[in-house]
């Protein structure tokens, strides 16, 4: 049964309820590590554009909310331009320069910048840890209980009782791991290693490409092997000392899957139409929130990982771009020239704006806008 899409007001509230706390967590990571290193903060903003609410604390930091809640920023002392290049640092008074971001050693600046994405990964770990403590961890063993006739698994020679050890070079510990690796590779030929009665066997399978629909009728491509587990899904609650390591491992798996999906798009193995932007994120947030709190916090954890991952990409204007420049600075023992940095940040800004425009057009296409316009035009 296809569920009805939630109303616009509900989607908007769910999106802001998911995104704004994650932006705050990200920026607070920058802010608190900067404070530890004695860096002054002039502004802490959630959202861009004109201020709609705010206050100034006793340290002189202006905490505010902008009218466009699609991000945020911390302006440290000495940040004299949006790219945080720290030009004209010598013009600052000595007491202000001592608290300036760019007056700090490069390793401190790198830690301050890396703290934002790290805070997002930590938030996801804590959410997953709460899920694992309450619900448990899926522990269904990767043992084949049934092979679908005519499936990719049957063609590859998989048999009931086989224990799958790896798929496409990825070791698997549970049946959920098998599904995750297979679903990411529709139509691809993959190597599968199984244990059959104590004997290791190397098989090859061309995964079937199938199109499935979620609860709201949205269609997506996945790979399918054609096997079922030997037992019903089982869940195991980890001990108090295990829950954080297990949640960390799960966060690493999700991050790796995101990186792999992005690489597949870059290399042409997946269509660029699968790239989504803020509008698609808002729709997903609203849909998951309409299913319940459990589903909503699951998507919040995924959004948090996505925010951390995207910000680590080595693109100027993003945290990863700053970290790349700091690595060059550490290797050269001096920063790149101001003009070179300025052109790099201009290019990074242009790339980000182009990506935002492209994903927005993709989002509108996924909502059927272009199809409807085509019908109207005849």
Cα distance between residue 151 and residue 131, in whole Å:
34
Mean pLDDT, rounded, for 75-102: 72
- Residue 88 pLDDT grade (very low, low, confident, very high; cuts 50, 70, 90): low
Q: What is the DSSP letter of 151?
A: S
In terms of pTM, does the model score above 0.75?
yes
* Average per-residue pLDDT for the chain: 89
92 or 347, higher pLDDT: 347
Residue 364: the pLDDT is 81
Mean pLDDT of 49-71: 91
Average pLDDT over residues 121-126: 98
Sign of CA dihedral 189, 195, 200, 201: negative
Higher pLDDT, 366 or 84: 366
Mean predicted confidence (pLDDT) in 250-259: 94
pLDDT band at residue 265, thresholds of 50, 70 and 90? confident
Domains and CATH numbers, the chain: 8-134+297-377 (no CATH), 138-236 (2.30.42.10)
b/e per residue, 48-79, with b = 16+ CB within 10 A? Answer: eeeeeeeeeeeeebeebebeebbbbbbbbbbb
By CB atoms closer than 10 A (0-12, 13-18, 19+), residue 159 is middle
Residue 219: band (very low, low, confident or very high) from pLDDT cuts 50, 70, 90: confident
Question: Is the pLDDT confidence value at 232 over 60?
Answer: yes
Evaluate if residue 262 carries a pLDDT over 80. Answer: yes
Query: Tens of pLDDT along 315-367?
Result: 988 999 999 999 999 998 888 887 888 888 888 889 888 988 888 888 887 76
Note the pLDDT of residue 233: 78
303, pLDDT greater than 70:
yes
pLDDT tens digits, one per residue of 93-122: 777 888 889 889 999 999 999 999 999 999
pLDDT score recorded for residue 89:
64
pLDDT level of residue 297 (50, 70, 90 thresholds) = very high
Report the pLDDT averaged over residues 174-187: 92
Contact 276, 362 (CB under 8 A): yes
Compute how many other C-beta atoms are within 10 angstroms of the C-beta atom of residue 317.
Answer: 20
pLDDT band at 373 (very low <50, low <70, confident <90, very high): low
Go through 202-226 and write b for each residue having 16 or more CB atoms within 10 A of its CB, e for each that does not: ebebebbeeeeeeebeeeeebbbbb
pLDDT at 83: 52
Q: What local confidence, expressed as pLDDT, does residue 369 receive?
A: 61
State yes or no: pLDDT of 84 exceeds 60. no
Quote the percentage of the chain above a pLDDT of 70.
Answer: 93
Which of 63-67, 150-154, 356-360 bottoms out in mean pLDDT, i.e. has the lowest? 356-360
Reported as a single tens digit per residue, the pLDDT across 39-51 is 999 999 999 989 9
C-alpha distance from residue 42 to each of 96, 106, 107 (Å): 11, 20, 22
Q: Average pLDDT in the 299-312 region?
A: 96
Output the pLDDT for position 372. 64
Active site residues: 27
Predicted pLDDT of residue 213: 82
Q: Which of 209, 196, 188, 186 is nearest to 142 (CA)?
A: 196
Q: What percent of the chain has pLDDT over 90?
A: 62
Q: What is the Cα–Cα distance from 356 to 361, expressed in whole angstroms?
A: 9
Is the pLDDT reported for residue 196 higher than 70?
Answer: yes
Tell me the pLDDT tens digit for each residue of 129-143.
999 999 998 888 999
Between CA 373 and CA 228 the distance in angstroms is 43
Helices and strands in the chain: count of H runs, count of E runs: 11, 12
């Amino acid at each position: 049964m296809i569920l009805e899409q939630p109303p616009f007001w509900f989607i908007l509230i769910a999106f802001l309820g998911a995104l704004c706390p994650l932006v705050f967590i990200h920026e607070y990571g920058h802010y608190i590590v900067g404070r530890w290193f004695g860096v002054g903060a002039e502004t802490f903003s959630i959202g861009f554009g004109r201020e709609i609410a705010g206050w100034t604390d006793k340290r002189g930091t202006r905490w505010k909310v902008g009218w466009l809640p699609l991000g945020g920023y911390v302006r440290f002392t000495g940040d004299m331009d949006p790219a945080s290049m720290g030009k004209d640092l010598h013009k600052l008074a000595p007491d202000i320069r001592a608290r300036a971001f760019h007056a700090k050693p490069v390793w401190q600046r790198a830690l301050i910048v890396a703290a934002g994405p790290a805070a997002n990964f930590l938030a996801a770990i804590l959410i997953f840890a709460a899920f694992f403590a309450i619900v448990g961890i899926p522990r269904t063993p990767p043992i084949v209980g049934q092979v679908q006739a005519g499936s990719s698994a049957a063609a590859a020679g998989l048999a009931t009782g086989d224990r799958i050890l790896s798929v496409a070079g990825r070791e698997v510990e549970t049946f959920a791991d098998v599904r995750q690796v297979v679903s990411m590779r529709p139509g691809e030929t993959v190597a599968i290693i199984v244990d059959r009665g104590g004997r290791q066997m190397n098989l090859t399978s061309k995964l079937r490409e199938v199109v499935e629909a979620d609860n709201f009728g949205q269609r997506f491509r996945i790979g399918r092997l054609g096997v079922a587990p030997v037992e019903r899904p089982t869940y195991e609650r980890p001990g108090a000392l295990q829950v954080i390591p297990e949640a960390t491992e799960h966060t690493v798996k999700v991050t790796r899957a995101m990186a792999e999906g992005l690489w597949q798009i870059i290399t042409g193995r997946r269509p660029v139409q699968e790239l989504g932007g803020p509008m698609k994120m808002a729709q997903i947030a609203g849909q998951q929130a309409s299913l319940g709190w459990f589903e909503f916090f699951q998507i919040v954890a995924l959004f948090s990982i996505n925010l951390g991952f995207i910000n680590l990409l080595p693109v100027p204007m993003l945290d990863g771009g700053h970290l790349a420049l700091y690595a060059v600075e550490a290797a050269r023992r001096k920063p790149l020239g101001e003009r070179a940095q300025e052109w790099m940040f201009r290019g990074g800004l242009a790339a980000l704006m182009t990506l935002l425009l492209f994903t927005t057009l993709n989002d509108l296409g996924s909502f059927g806008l272009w199809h409807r316009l085509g019908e109207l035009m005849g």
